[in-house]
Amino acid sequence: MHFAKIALTTAALALSPAAAYAIDISGAGATFPYPIYAKWADSYKKETGNGLNYQSIGSGGGIKQIKAKTVTFGATDAPLTGKDLEESGLVQFPMVMGSVTPVVNLEGVKPGELTLDGPTLAQIYLGQIKSWDDAAIAKLNPNLKLPKQAIVPVRRSDGSGTTYNFAYYLAEVSSDWKTKVGVSTALQWPVGIGAKGNEGVAGNVAQTKGSIGYVEYAYAKENKMIFTKMINKAGKAVAPGSDSVQSAAASADWNSVPGFGVILANQPGDQSWPMAAATWILMYKKPEKSAEAAEALKFFAWAYAKGGAMADSLDYVPMPQKVVTDIMKMWSADIKDASGKPLYSPTN
Amino acid sequence: MASGERDVSEVALKGASAPLAVSSSRAAVLKRLRLTDAIFHGLTRGASLAVLALLSGVIIALIIGAAPALGTFGFGFLFDESWNPVTERFGALAPIFGTLVTSFIAMLIAVPVGLMVAFFLTELCPKMLRRPIGIAIELLAGIPSIIYGIWGLFVFAPFLQQHVQPLFIDTFQNVPVLSILFAGPPYGIGMFTAGLILAIMVLPFVTSISRDVFDAVPPVLKEAAYGVGCTTWEVFRYVVLPFTRVGVIGGFMLGLGRALGETMAVTFVIGNAHHVSASLFAPGTTISASIANEFTEAVGDLYTSSLIALGLILFFITFIVLAIARYMLLRLQRQGK
């Protein structure tokens, strides 16, 4: 025991010159924002010397980890409710946005050629529309000759924030979906085949003729998949991408839900993509390790200020400036150390 | 134990008495030898007990983890098809069904093929070909299961969807039972595909064990049978198979054990849908595939507990199968003496 103490002290002394300046921030959670968090962390480390260790273990895991207080922040694609936040003493704020995009595998159909609307998409995933030549699809695509081919709906087999956003939108536009299936990160799917992760869904859609799936837009774009257009709430056909997500984010009323937990599904606006999605950070109002929490807030502030171009390059969409201002106000007001001093002030 | 000690001391006496023949040093040598033996004995026993402790630890952990789910759903957990994370109602019927059906398909194909390959290798194959074919079969066992999964998803499933499944569906659409077993639409992936992939994975187990037991058939039996005019088929059917029956069944059981627990390859090609469907082309799920897919993101205690309960069920199924396999092989060894 005594020996161990000496050894530890020696080790700490040996390491201290480096350790004195670098505080490693630890976070865990959603897989969807992992690429951009990793990229931000890399640049941030180069700029400030402070590292960020983010484990992309999934939204459910992120919530578990922050509640177990093993990490400085948790990350989730499915926001916690105001009540849940209140009970666990957490604050929540959106970090970056993306979108859920339907992708298909249909012979002769190019990216963006097929148009769907919410009710049709819901009927496909409910198993009520079974063939690509169904009248409901034909009506939305008068110029497209669709084959008499069985539709193979592909969906996530693991729990996922992508599924949550997708199901939330379908429940918004289809009462059948709301009552029969509901909204959660994992569902009891009436039809279709399940695949693990965005890459699993992308792979299955690419391999299965007549299939339809839903993935994060970045996956659809990188894998050059055949994405569809969607009819939005305003009745206009829009293509996925950062413009249509920004439009949805601008139309949303972010302060209407505690913890900025607005699901960007089915937002108004002519240009709005109906399945835009944000991803959230969870932190304690009174974190036990206040120094690390303060460092984490500095990192987030840096990411809001300087991370926009990097987000764009990975097909993520930065938060609107107005929302960022509100988030920072919330930080100053709500996140405090043991003595009640705010851990974030706009000047530092 | 007693006889072992005596052997050691006799050897020690011989070695020690030759140069010195002093009784005190002999005693010291003996003591040292006893000590090393005791340590070795203790180590072996410790290692064996550690395995036992590990196994019981796993079982206890599974039972504790599964308790909330089994307490909530009771015995009905085994017979409920629903798997609804939204309403938190879970049942194990679909995974159990998928596990048994895919394993059954795998055995249905792997057993006859494996037996034929094994018989060919031991009896009919020219010496030159024996080694290459034998090695190829054993290499099949060495391919990591994720490779089977990827191959299944990217090569095998699209081929089945476009060429094989439509043919089956069209051919059997008016045949009473088969029209239900092979009902469309052709997804490419599903229980049928998972069964085929498993068959390939199980084949080396069945083949290599069958080959070993076929080799154990005394040549005089076969020669006598050929001598009285038996055909090759008759020798196989009436001499080799009856003689090796028990060992061959033991090999099946080991193969079945692998098929039941296989995870990665299956989850790629089965479709991961919690449904019980009569059609083999429909997507399904297995116990291990469900756990692998859902465990990391399972939210809530009941969901997690239900997945652990699935693990417990698989543990029991595999345990029974392996126990039968051991028993069969044990009987073979006795029969061989």
> Token digits for B270?
């089965």
Identify whether the C-beta of residue B200 lies closer than 8 Å to the C-beta of residue B148: yes
Q: Do A59 and B285 touch (CB under 8 A)?
A: no
For residue A347, name the pLDDT band (cuts at 50, 70, 90). Answer: low
Strands, E, within B77-124: which ranges?
83-84, 89-90
pLDDT of A102: 96
Residues counted in chain A: 348
DSSP for residue B240: I
pLDDT of A10: 44
The sign of the torsion formed by the CA atoms of A284, A289, A291, A293 equals negative
Whole-angstrom distance, CA of residue B192 vs CA of residue B209: 26
pLDDT of B3: 45
Whole-angstrom distance, CA of residue A124 vs CA of residue A143: 20
C-alpha distance from B82 to closest chain A C-alpha (Å):
8
Q: Do B190 and A193 touch (CB under 8 A)?
A: yes
Whole-angstrom distance, CA of residue A177 vs CA of residue B18: 92
Residues of A with CB under 8 A from a CB of B: 57-61, 63, 130, 150, 152, 157-160, 181-189, 191-196, 203-204, 207-210
Residue B180 pLDDT > 70, yes or no?
yes
Q: Do A158 and B297 touch (CB under 8 A)?
A: yes
Identify whether the C-beta of residue A335 lies closer than 8 Å to the C-beta of residue A263: no
Residue type, B123: E
For residue A213, the surrounding DSSP H or E stretch is strand A211-216
Residue A62 pLDDT > 50, yes or no?
yes
> Token digits for B328?
């069969």
* B3 in reach of chain A (CB within 8 A): no
Residue type, A225: M
The reported pTM is: 0.83
For residue B2, name the pLDDT band (cuts at 50, 70, 90). Answer: very low
Strands, E, within A61-210: which ranges?
73-76, 90-104, 115-117, 152-156, 193-195
The residue in chain B having the minimum alpha-carbon distance to the alpha carbon of residue A199 is B268
pLDDT of A22: 60
Residue B286 pLDDT > 70, yes or no?
yes
Q: Do A159 and B189 touch (CB under 8 A)?
A: no
Average pLDDT over residues A70-99: 92
pLDDT of A12: 44
> Token digits for A56?
């992309």
> Token digits for A225?
């998949």
The residue in chain A having the minimum alpha-carbon distance to the alpha carbon of residue B151 is A207
CB atoms within 10 A of CB B120: 15
Identify whether the C-beta of residue B148 lies closer than 8 Å to the C-beta of residue B265: yes
Whole-angstrom distance, CA of residue B187 vs CA of residue B279: 12
Alpha carbon of B243 to those of B121, B207, B216, B232, B250: distances in Å? 17, 17, 9, 15, 13
Return the closest-CA partner of residue B134 out of B110, B117, B111, B109: B117
Question: What does the pLDDT look like over A203-242, one tens digit per residue?
Answer: 899 989 999 999 988 888 888 899 999 999 999 999 998 8
Average pLDDT over residues A308-331: 92
Question: What does the pLDDT look like over B9-46, one tens digit per residue?
Answer: 455 445 444 555 567 788 889 999 999 999 999 999 99
Identify whether the C-beta of residue A296 lies closer than 8 Å to the C-beta of residue A71: no
For residue A214, the surrounding DSSP H or E stretch is strand A211-216
CB atoms within 10 A of CB A12: 10
pLDDT of B336: 56
Q: Do B86 and A160 touch (CB under 8 A)?
A: no
Return the closest-CA partner of residue B265 out of B336, B211, B202, B175: B202
User: Which position has the token pair 């009891």?
Assistant: A188
Return the closest-CA partner of residue B322 out of B236, B250, B221, B239: B250
Of residues A301 and B249, more confidently modeled: A301
Could you tell me which residues come within 8 angstroms of residue A215 by beta carbon, excluding any fewer than 6 positions away?
A100, A101, A103, A162, A198, A201, A202, A205, A225
- Strand duo A152-156 + A211-216: pairing: parallel
Between helix B241-261 and helix B191-215 the angle, nearest 10°, is 140
Identify whether the C-beta of residue A135 lies closer than 8 Å to the C-beta of residue A254: no
